[in-house]
């Protein structure tokens, strides 16, 4: 075949395969047999092999999987992928409805959709072409899994319009695919996956895309993240737009005009969820109007305009055989029930939380008891109650120990606490758990240092403090089990990279009691360097917004210890950054030569060139204060497209109003 003829045939084959794939994987309406589709794909691959210059990264042939990757690159989400608040019953839904109406008024509708139990992903398209796909990660930073996502037939590699947009979806494994996969694993003597969600997540995190291509995953796209040049007025309009572009959108979504309709929808799918060909773990309820979504805004963790209704937890009966004790990084001794294995909400459960001694006494738990367990929020197994009527006299009382199960130090119960605690700072369990916390995602985020690797390093006495991580030698690591040259090099590279983290990551990683990730950033922004934080008094700490007396006292106590100060010096000597690197709001606006200095600014409506967070950050850097509501104290309102009640109130109060163009001009 001549090259020109081959080029024409390749183009024809691609168009045919795209059309057949769309009808089969998105519409569930096959146009040709599997054998005919496979034959056409085989012909395309053969032609692309003969004429490599005709290969393109949006060809249907890429779905068979490319070359293995050494590791996944990090991807920063332009718009954060936030988690949702939860509603567990009808009253929670009515409370959500009340809160929303208090902020935006009575004229509103909701969009309800099934909450697919899979892996949340972000897909980015340029000129209608799929260029990148990423996991949710921590909401701000995910992993680039583009090659694996290309193997999902329901993801269009080219859209029906040449648009620039980013969409969010849930990749999942259909029940049939899951059953086939586990049957193959069982036949091969491999460990089976616990549920379709774990199977989907595991498939998409394979470094070899060919493995992902064999897993028969699918996806539902549920939201538009960013879309250039599109002015979408509502969520359901956005779903129609996605459907028009060729995305697979769940057809069970419903536009609801009252909270009563929302409740009816949740009741319907609570009873019908088993009938679906895929797993769901709840219902997502969103305020439908996008201008109202903007007006409602976000909390630190989730949007105020959406919530996730969680199905009532499945309760299962099993036998409690033993109670195991574990020691956490703060010294708290936690009892865990050891159970006869039982399937709960799709996974095999062998352990369940008992929380503390008081709960064991309150529920009258004995070894050998028949117990009811459930998964709190469909995630964490816990003992609900004991079936005392099933006792036959063979059950045994359980008593909490007086000494630490790890180091034999005497346990104490601090005033006002229900937990027993080991207060020995050299307790191996606390040190080990502290190391695991230090390398975790929200802390220093060191890839390759999971719990098993940390335990291995600790048991071989290669690490005792977090500073030891920065003095690990390649030769020492190569002597350990399952540590080949490639994994050792990747690990050392990740450790080296973590030295560049901003100060708040280090503060959180140190595990100071009562100091979470948000407080760590607040402290880093205020004190700028570790040295200044170490020398801060309780009074200086309390003066920082959002830092209370309890937290301030804990920070001072932590840094008073000579051992902690010596640890900080070791980290510095290993070139670990101890300075805040992020943007910093202006503390003295009088020193700033800016129109925003000492001004109270409100952002409303849709911005195109900046996100709300970017605009807020820039205004605060120039001495302004950004608030969420318009009042007599407001100096300026920035009104984007579809600005609603806030703009109207600003007009009534005579507050100065700018459009985004004026804002950009001033910022520049």
pLDDT at 377 over 70: no
pLDDT at 193 over 90: no
pLDDT at 607 over 90: no
pLDDT of residue 66: 62
Domain 589-667 adopts which CATH fold? Rossmann fold (3.40.50)
The most confident of 347-356, 411-420, 525-534, by mean pLDDT? 525-534
pLDDT of residue 65: 63
pLDDT at 224 over 90: yes
Q: How far apart are CA 363 and CA 352, in angstroms?
A: 14
Mean pLDDT of 559-579: 95
Range(s) of the chain covered by CATH 1.10.150.20: 428-573
Mean pLDDT of 485-497: 94
Mean pLDDT of 123-135: 94
Mean pLDDT of 384-392: 94
**Closest to 587 (Cα-Cα) out of 514, 504, 506, 527:** 527
Say which residue, 596 or 568, is predicted with more confidence.
568
pLDDT of residue 38: 81
| pLDDT tier for residue 68 given thresholds of 50, 70 and 90 | low
* Whole-prediction pTM: 0.57
- CATH class given for the domain over 3-64: mainly alpha
Contact by Cβ (8 Å): 576, 529: no
Q: Tokens 């794939």 identify what position?
A: 21
CATH 3.40.50.1240 fits 428-573, yes or no: no
pLDDT of residue 592: 64
| pLDDT tier for residue 137 given thresholds of 50, 70 and 90 | confident
Please say if 115 is a catalytic residue. yes
Q: What are the tens digits of pLDDT across the range 544-553?
A: 877 889 999 9
With vertex at residue 379, the alpha carbon angle to CA 378 and CA 385, rounded to the nearest 5 degrees, is 75
Range(s) of the chain covered by CATH 1.10.287.610: 3-64
| pLDDT tier for residue 229 given thresholds of 50, 70 and 90 | confident
pLDDT at 67 over 70: no
Per DSSP, the three-state class of 189 is coil
Q: Please provide the average confidence, as pLDDT, over all residues in the chain.
A: 89
Mean pLDDT of 515-523: 89
pLDDT at 589 over 60: no
Q: What are the tens digits of pLDDT across the range 446-466?
A: 998 999 999 999 999 999 999
| pLDDT tier for residue 482 given thresholds of 50, 70 and 90 | confident
Q: What are the tens digits of pLDDT across the range 615-639?
A: 887 888 888 888 877 888 899 999 9
pLDDT at 661 over 80: yes
Question: 85-310 — its CATH code?
Answer: 3.30.470.30
pLDDT at 585 over 90: no
Mean pLDDT of 422-440: 94
- Among the listed residues 115, 310, 375, 646, the single catalytic one is 115
pLDDT of residue 464: 95
- CATH class given for the domain over 316-412: mainly beta
Residue 368's region, left for phi above 0, alpha for psi from -120 to 50, else beta, is: left
Q: What are the tens digits of pLDDT across the range 247-301?
A: 999 999 999 999 999 999 999 999 898 899 999 989 999 999 999 998 998 876 7
Helices 259-272 and 90-104: angle between axes, nearest 10 degrees: 150
Full DSSP string of 618-650: HHHHTT-EEESS--TT--EEEE-BT--HHHHHH
pLDDT of residue 625: 84
Range(s) of the chain covered by CATH 2.40.50.140: 316-412
Length of the chain, please? Answer: 668
Range(s) of the chain covered by CATH 3.30.470.30: 85-310
Full DSSP string of 463-514: -SSGGGGGG--HHHHHTSTT--HHHHHHHHHHHHHHTT--HHHHHHHTT-TT
Contact by Cβ (8 Å): 383, 356: no
Mean pLDDT of 20-46: 84
């Amino acid at each position: 075949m001549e090259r020109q003829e081959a080029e024409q045939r390749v183009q024809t084959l691609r168009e045919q395969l795209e059309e057949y794939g769309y009808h089969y994987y998105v519409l569930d309406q096959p146009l040709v047999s599997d054998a005919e589709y496979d034959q056409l794909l085989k012909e395309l691959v053969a032609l692309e092999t003969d004429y490599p210059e005709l290969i393109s990264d949006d060809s249907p042939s890429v779905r068979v999987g490319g070359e293995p990757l050494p590791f996944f690159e990090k991807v920063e989400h332009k718009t954060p992928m936030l988690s949702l608040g939860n509603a567990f019953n009808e009253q929670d839904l009515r409370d959500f409805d009340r809160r929303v109406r208090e902020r935006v008024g009575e004229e509103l509708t909701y969009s309800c959709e099934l909450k697919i139990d899979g892996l949340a992903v972000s897909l980015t398209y340029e000129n209608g072409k799929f260029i990148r796909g990423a996991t949710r990660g921590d909401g701000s930073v995910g992993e680039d899994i583009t090659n694996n996502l290309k193997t999902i037939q329901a993801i269009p590699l080219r859209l029906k319009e040449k648009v620039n947009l980013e969409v969010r979806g849930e990749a999942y494994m259909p029940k049939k695919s899951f059953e086939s996969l586990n049957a193959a694993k069982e036949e091969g003597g491999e460990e089976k996956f616990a549920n379709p969600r774990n199977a989907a997540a595991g498939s998409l995190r394979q470094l070899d895309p060919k493995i992902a291509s064999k897993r028969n995953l699918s996806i539902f796209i549920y939201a538009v993240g960013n879309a250039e040049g599109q002015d979408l007025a509502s969520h359901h309009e956005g779903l129609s737009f996605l459907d028009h572009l060729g995305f697979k959108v769940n057809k069970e979504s419903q536009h609801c005009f009252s909270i009563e309709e929302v409740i009816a929808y949740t009741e319907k799918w609570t009873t019908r969820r088993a009938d679906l060909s895929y797993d769901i773990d709840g219902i997502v309820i969103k305020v439908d109007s996008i201008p109202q979504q903007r007006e409602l805004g976000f909390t630190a963790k989730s949007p105020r305009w959406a919530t996730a209704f969680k199905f009532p937890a499945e309760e299962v009966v099993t036998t409690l055989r033993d109670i195991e004790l574990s020691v956490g990084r703060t010294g708290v001794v936690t009892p865990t029930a050891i159970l006869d294995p039982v399937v709960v909400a799709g996974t095999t459960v062998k352990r369940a939380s008992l929380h503390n001694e008081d709960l064991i006494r309150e529920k009258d738990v004995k070894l050998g008891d028949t117990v009811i367990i459930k998964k709190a929020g469909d995630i964490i197994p816990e003992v609900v109650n004991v079936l005392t009527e099933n006792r036959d006299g063979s059950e045994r009382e359980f008593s909490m120990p007086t000494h630490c199960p790890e180091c034999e130090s005497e346990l104490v119960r601090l005033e006002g606490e229900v937990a027993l605690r080991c207060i020995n700072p050299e307790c191996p369990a606390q040190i080990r758990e502290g190391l695991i916390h230090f390398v975790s995602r929200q802390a220093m985020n060191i890839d390759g240092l999971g719990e098993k690797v940390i335990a291995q390093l600790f048991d071989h006495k290669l690490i005792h403090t977090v500073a030891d991580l920065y003095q690990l030698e390649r030769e020492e690591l190569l002597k350990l089990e399952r540590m080949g040259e490639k994994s050792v090099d990747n690990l050392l590279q990740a450790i080296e990279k973590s030295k560049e983290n901003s100060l708040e990551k280090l503060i959180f990683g140190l595990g100071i009691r009562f100091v979470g990730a948000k407080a760590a950033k607040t402290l880093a922004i205020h004190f700028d360097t570790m040295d200044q934080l170490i020398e801060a008094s309780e009074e200086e700490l309390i003066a920082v917004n959002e830092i209370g007396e309890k937290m301030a006292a804990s920070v001072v106590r932590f840094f008073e210890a000579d051992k902690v100060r010596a640890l900080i010096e070791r980290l510095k000597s290993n070139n670990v950054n101890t300075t805040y690197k992020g943007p910093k709001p202006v503390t003295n606006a009088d020193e700033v030569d800016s129109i925003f200095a000492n001004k109270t600014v409100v952002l409303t409506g849709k911005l195109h060139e900046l996100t709300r967070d970017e605009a807020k950050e820039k205004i605060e850097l120039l001495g302004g204060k950004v608030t969420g509501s318009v009042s007599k104290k407001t100096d300026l309102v920035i009104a984007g497209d579809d600005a609603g009640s806030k703009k109207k109130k600003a007009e009534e109060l005579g507050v100065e109003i700018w459009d985004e163009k004026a804002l950009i001009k001033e910022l520049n």
